[in-house]
Amino acid sequence: MKKVLIIHGPNLNMLGKREPEVYGKTTLGEINDALTARGNEHGLAIETFQSNHEGAIIEKIQANFDKVSGVIINPAAFTHTSVAIRDALLMVDAPVIEVHLSNIYKREPFRHKSMVADIAVAQISGLGVQGYHAALDAIANMVK
């Protein structure tokens, strides 16, 4: 079974509690459960991972760079700062899709720059939880 790695960056473990007017009321557990179910519908194994630590995210990517058929990543605040996560993603020989719950281009100017966007096959921003589902559907179509 082909595997898709879904990575959630810092503070996303607080979804449902943190700024619900921006990020919604759905928890990370609910998002992961729904993505696992949708992955099963596509015949894909889903592995989810969340960390508030840049190094842990890099280590997860390195441990899976040659074991996945796709990566969906919401780097959260690391989107705008982490060359290291970008470099780790360059090792992945599979489609990478960047997801953001909010529209980062309608927010503060420092959020408009993504270190990942130019290496991802797509960026989905502003669709809330549906952005993750759109990314998973897209990867499922790419790997068939």
The CA-CA-CA angle for residues 96, 97, 100, to 5°, reads 145
Asked if the model's pLDDT at residue 22 lies above 90, the reply is no
Contacts of 11 (CB under 8 A, 6+ apart): 18, 52, 76, 77
Catalytic residue among 8, 23, 132, 133: 23
Catalytic residue among 8, 100, 132, 133: 100
Q: Is 23 a catalytic residue?
A: yes
Cα→Cα distances 48→5, 31, 53, 138, Å = 6, 10, 15, 17
Instruction: Tell me the per-residue pLDDT of 33-50, one tens digit each, with 9 for 90 and over.
Output: 999 999 999 999 999 999
Instruction: Tell me the per-residue pLDDT of 104-123, one tens digit each, with 9 for 90 and over.
Output: 888 888 788 899 999 999 99
Q: What percent of the chain has pLDDT over 90?
A: 84
Say which amino acid occupies 69. Answer: S
Pick one of 3.40.50.1820, 3.40.1440.10, 3.40.50.9100, 3.40.50.800 as the CATH number of 2-143: 3.40.50.9100
8 A C-beta contact, residue 96 and residue 32: no
Asked if the model's pLDDT at residue 135 lies above 90, the reply is yes
Length of the chain, in residues: 144
Strand partners, 50: 8
Q: What percent of the chain has pLDDT over 70?
A: 100
This prediction has a pTM of 0.94
Q: What is the CA radius of gyration of the chain?
A: 14
